[in-house]
Structure 1
Amino acid sequence: MRIEHLRTMLLLFGAMLIGMVLLACGGGGGSPGVTGAVPPPASTGSLAVSASGLPAGVNAALRVTGPNNYLQELTQSQTLANLAPGSYNVSASPVTSGGVTYQPAPASQAATISAGATTAATVSYGSGPLTLVTTQVVAGLDNPTWLTAPPGERRLFVTERAGRVRIVENGITRDQPYLDIGARVSTEGEGGLLSLAFDPQFDRNGYFYVYYTDLQRNIVVERFSAGATATAANPTSGLVILRIPHPTYQNHFGGQLAFGPDGYLYLGTGDGGGAGDPQGNARNLASLLGKLLRIDVAGVSAAQPYAIPAANPYRDAAGRRPEIWAFGLRNPWRFSFDASQLYLTDVGQDLREEVNIVAAAQAGLDYGWNVMEGTLCYAAATCERAGLTLPVFEYDHGANDVNGCSITGGFVYRGRALPELAGRYFYSDYCGGYLKSFLVTGTSIVEQRDWEIADIGAIVSFGQDAEGELYLLTSGGAIHKIGRGATQ
Structure 2
Amino acid sequence: MRHFLSRLPLPWLVLLLACCLALLAACGGGHHHPAPGATTGNLTVTLGGLPAGVAGAVTVTGPASYSKTLTASTTLTGLAPGAYAVGAASVTQGTGTLAPTPVTQQVQVTAGATASASVTYAAATPLALRLQEVASGLDAPLFLTAPPGDSRLFIVERAGRIRVVQNGSLLATPFLDISTLTTTSGERGLLSLAFHPQYASNGYFFIYYTSLAGDIVIERRQVSAGNANVADPLSALAILTIAHPTFSNHNGGLLSFGPDGYLYAGTGDGGSGGDPPGNAQNTNVLLGKLLRLDVNASNVAQPYAIPPGNPFASAGGRPEIWAYGLRNPWRYAFDMPALLLYIADVGQASWEEVDVRPVGQAGNNYGWNIMEGTQCYNSPSCNQTGLVLPVITYGHDAAGGCSITGGYVYRGAALPELAGQYLYSDYCSGWLKSFSYSNGTASAVTDWGIANVGNIVSFGQDAQNELYVLSGTGKVYRIARK
TM-score (norm 1): 0.74
- Provide the C-alpha distance between the structure 2 equivalents of 1:407 and 1:170, rounded to a whole number of angstroms: 32
Partner of residue 356, structure 1: 355
Partner of residue 309, structure 1: 307
Partner of residue 408, structure 1: 405
**Cα distance, 1:126 vs structure 2:** 9.3
Partner of residue 431, structure 1: 428
**Cα distance, 1:369 vs structure 2:** 0.5
Q: How does 1:2-17 map to 2 (within 5 A)?
A: none
Partner of residue 90, structure 2: 97
SS of the residue 2:180 aligns to: helix
SS of the residue 2:334 aligns to: strand
Which of 293, 296, 299 is the aligned partner of 2:294? Answer: 296
**Cα distance, 1:55 vs structure 2:** 7.5
Which of 242, 249, 255 is the aligned partner of 1:251? Answer: 249
Partner of residue 282, structure 1: 280
Which of 450, 454, 470 is the aligned partner of 1:473? Answer: 470
**Cα distance, 1:396 vs structure 2:** 1.4
| 8 Å CA contact retained: 1:395, 1:403 | no
SS of the residue 1:365 aligns to: coil
- Provide the C-alpha distance between the structure 2 equivalents of 1:56 and 1:193, rounded to a whole number of angstroms: 52
The one-letter code matched in structure 1 to 2:388 is T
SS of the residue 2:148 aligns to: coil
The unaligned stretches of length 5 or more in structure 2 are 1-46, 51-55, 58-86, 102-121
The one-letter code matched in structure 1 to 2:240 is L
The one-letter code matched in structure 2 to 1:469 is E
Partner of residue 234, structure 2: 236
Q: How does 1:29-68 map to 2 (within 5 A)?
A: none
- Provide the C-alpha distance between the structure 1 equivalents of 2:151 and 2:98, rounded to a whole number of angstroms: 26
Partner of residue 463, structure 1: 460
- Provide the C-alpha distance between the structure 1 equivalents of 2:209 and 2:384, rounded to a whole number of angstroms: 34
**Cα distance, 1:98 vs structure 2:** 3.4
1:272 aligns with 2:270: yes
Partner of residue 83, structure 2: none
The one-letter code matched in structure 2 to 1:206 is G
The one-letter code matched in structure 1 to 2:297 is G
Q: 1:325 to 1:56 in 2, by over 3 A?
A: closer
- Provide the C-alpha distance between the structure 2 equivalents of 1:323 and 1:445, rounded to a whole number of angstroms: 30
- Provide the C-alpha distance between the structure 2 equivalents of 1:351 and 1:299, rounded to a whole number of angstroms: 43
- Provide the C-alpha distance between the structure 1 equivalents of 2:228 and 2:49, rounded to a whole number of angstroms: 49
**Cα distance, 1:420 vs structure 2:** 1.4
Q: 1:95 to 1:458 in 2, by over 3 A?
A: farther
**Cα distance, 1:138 vs structure 2:** 1.0
1:341 aligns with 2:340: yes
SS of the residue 1:249 aligns to: coil
1:220 aligns with 2:213: no
TM-score (norm 2): 0.75
Length, aligned pairs only: 376
Partner of residue 418, structure 1: 415
**Cα distance, 1:102 vs structure 2:** 5.5
**Cα distance, 1:439 vs structure 2:** 0.3
- Provide the C-alpha distance between the structure 1 equivalents of 2:166 and 2:308, rounded to a whole number of angstroms: 40
- Provide the C-alpha distance between the structure 2 equivalents of 1:389 and 1:126, rounded to a whole number of angstroms: 38
| 8 Å CA contact retained: 2:430, 2:450 | no
- Provide the C-alpha distance between the structure 2 equivalents of 1:484 and 1:344, rounded to a whole number of angstroms: 26
Q: 1:203 to 1:386 in 2, by over 3 A?
A: same
Larger gyration radius, structure 1 or structure 2 = 1
The one-letter code matched in structure 1 to 2:129 is L
The unaligned stretches of length 5 or more in structure 1 are 1-53, 60-93, 105-124
**Cα distance, 1:388 vs structure 2:** 0.8
- Provide the C-alpha distance between the structure 1 equivalents of 2:191 and 2:219, rounded to a whole number of angstroms: 12
| Bigger Cα displacement from structure 2, 389-398 vs 330-339 | 389-398
- Provide the C-alpha distance between the structure 1 equivalents of 2:167 and 2:128, rounded to a whole number of angstroms: 24
| 8 Å CA contact retained: 2:90, 2:100 | no
| 8 Å CA contact retained: 1:316, 1:322 | yes
**Cα distance, 1:280 vs structure 2:** 1.2
The one-letter code matched in structure 1 to 2:302 is Q
Q: 1:463 to 1:101 in 2, by over 3 A?
A: farther
- Provide the C-alpha distance between the structure 2 equivalents of 1:126 and 1:369, rounded to a whole number of angstroms: 44
Which of 193, 199, 203 is the aligned partner of 1:202? Answer: 199
Q: Which runs of 4+ in 1 moved over 6 A?
A: 54-59
Partner of residue 398, structure 1: 397
**Cα distance, 1:97 vs structure 2:** 3.1
Q: How does 1:366-381 map to 2 (within 5 A)?
A: 366-381=365-380
**Cα distance, 1:443 vs structure 2:** 2.0
SS of the residue 2:454 aligns to: coil
| 8 Å CA contact retained: 1:163, 1:182 | yes
SS of the residue 2:240 aligns to: strand
| 8 Å CA contact retained: 1:459, 1:474 | yes
- Provide the C-alpha distance between the structure 2 equivalents of 1:450 and 1:103, rounded to a whole number of angstroms: 25
**Cα distance, 1:127 vs structure 2:** 3.7
| 8 Å CA contact retained: 2:131, 2:477 | yes
| 8 Å CA contact retained: 1:334, 1:345 | yes
Q: How does 1:108-257 map to 2 (within 5 A)?
A: 127-228=124-225, 229-257=227-255
Q: 1:451 to 1:472 in 2, by over 3 A?
A: same
SS of the residue 1:183 aligns to: coil
- Provide the C-alpha distance between the structure 1 equivalents of 2:166 and 2:443, rounded to a whole number of angstroms: 37
Deviations 1:61-117 (A, max 9, x none): xxxxxxxxxxxxxxxxxxxxxxxxxxxxxxxxx98433336599xxxxxxxxxxxxx
Q: Determine what percentage of the aligned residue pairs are the same residue.
A: 55
| 8 Å CA contact retained: 2:266, 2:329 | yes
SS of the residue 1:420 aligns to: helix
- Provide the C-alpha distance between the structure 1 equivalents of 2:356 and 2:90, rounded to a whole number of angstroms: 28
- Provide the C-alpha distance between the structure 2 equivalents of 1:212 and 1:252, rounded to a whole number of angstroms: 12
| 8 Å CA contact retained: 1:144, 1:475 | yes
